[in-house]
């Protein structure tokens, strides 16, 4: 049975399965539900729901290759990961990107790095200092 949700987020996507694979691989979220048009991912009381963008809207959206960050949004998803370097490698393998090591900074005792998913949504990953 899934952990009771205490926080969550919803992301709308052109390719639901690709984003689900990205967030599973980068942030270690576990898929707990999948239906046509949506996937639910969870970890430690957090739930990320990925919904398909309606086809008539998705047809008007172009995702560059490689994807470009869509930084014109006031929201940024944040995930704590075990290793920034492992998350960076997973992000690249799964179609997204995390900034290079020289762009990492400290915040609240954690190492912090920005990046984006395969559709250009801005994310941040944080890891405890070793």
- Sequence-distant (6+) residues with CB within 8 A of 45 are 3, 4, 5, 6, 7
pLDDT at 4: 81
Q: Quick one: tokens of 123?
A: 């994310």
pLDDT bracket for residue 2 (50, 70, 90): low
How many Å separate Cα 111 from the centre of its chain?
17
For 9-48, write each residue's pLDDT tens digit. 999 999 999 999 999 999 999 999 999 999 999 999 999 9
In a domain, 115, yes or no: yes
Is residue 102, in this structure, part of any structural domain at all?
Answer: yes
How many domains in the chain?
1
What is the domain-level CATH number for residue 97? 3.10.180.10
Would 62 be classed as within a structural domain?
no
pLDDT at 129: 79
Nearest residue to 48 (alpha-carbon basis) of 98, 7, 93, 82: 7
Q: Which domain holds residue 120?
A: 7-54+67-128
> What is the distance between the alpha carbons of residues 84 and 101, in angstroms, rounded to a whole number?
9
Is residue 61 one of the residues assigned to a domain?
no
**In this model, does residue 3 exceed pLDDT 90?**
no
Kindly state whether residue 47 falls inside one of the protein's structural domains: yes
């Amino acid at each position: 049975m899934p952990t009771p949700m205490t926080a969550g987020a919803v992301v709308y996507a052109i390719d639901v399965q690709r984003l689900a694979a990205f967030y599973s691989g980068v942030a270690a979220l576990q898929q707990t539900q999948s239906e046509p048009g949506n996937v639910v991912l969870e970890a430690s009381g957090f739930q990320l729901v990925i919904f398909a963008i309606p086809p008539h809207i998705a047809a008007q959206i172009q995702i560059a290759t490689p994807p470009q960050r869509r930084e014109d949004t006031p929201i940024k998803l944040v995930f704590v990961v075990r290793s920034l370097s492992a998350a960076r490698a997973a992000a690249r393998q799964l179609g997204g990107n995390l900034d290079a090591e020289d762009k990492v900074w400290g915040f609240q005792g954690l190492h912090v790095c920005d990046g984006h998913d395969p559709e250009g949504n801005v994310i941040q990953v944080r890891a405890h200092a070793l």
